[in-house]
Amino acid sequence: MILYHGSSVEVKEPRLLKIQRELDFGKGFYTTSDLEQASRWAKRTAQRLKQETAFVSVYEIDDAVMKTLNCLEFQKSDVEWLKFVVSNRKGIAVEGNWDIIIGPVANDRTAPVIDLYVDGMYDEEETIKRLLPQNLKDQYVFKTTIAIQSLHFKEAIIL
């Protein structure tokens, strides 16, 4: 499987950062199987950091190796996924010893919907209903050193 990581720098050797923003699946190394999505992430990161160049680092992970890792996978944006994302975005660690978490990404278009859910304006059913038409892409979050070591750097695409 090929995965992409968008950033303001080329990342030949992924690693877990000690300090990280509160994201959908908590702390970890975020990738996606969608090159277009990774490119958007890279450009947004470079812009936020006031950098001229953005990079998409390309990795390969052997499917057989991935099957040996402890993975949590959300097949779709449902109530379980919503609660997990909201907890992580609030900085509330969700218990689990997963190597990789896989599932839909709550992107910039979904953030206002999730914020309205957090504020109590939408219940779970209404929130999921509003998220479904947004055709959410995927994210693969590598949570442990052993998981990150299973990624093999292939190349960096300069945007």
What dihedral do alpha carbons 63, 64, 69, 71 form, nearest 10°? 40
Per the listing, tokens 């953005």 go with 54
72-101 residue pLDDT tens: 999 988 889 888 988 888 888 788 899 999
Q: Is the predicted pLDDT of residue 134 greater than 60, yes or no?
A: no
3-state secondary structure of 107: coil
Q: Is the predicted pLDDT of residue 110 greater than 90, yes or no?
A: no
Q: Give dist(CA 71, CA 143) in Å, integer.
A: 10
Q: Is the predicted pLDDT of residue 53 greater than 80, yes or no?
A: yes
Q: Give dist(CA 156, CA 4) in Å, integer.
A: 9
User: What number is the average pLDDT over the span 32-55?
Assistant: 93
Average pLDDT, the chain: 88
* Residue 114 binned pLDDT confidence (cut-offs 50, 70, 90): confident
Residues in the chain: 159
Which residues have CB under 8 Å from 87's CB, separation 6+? Answer: 93, 94
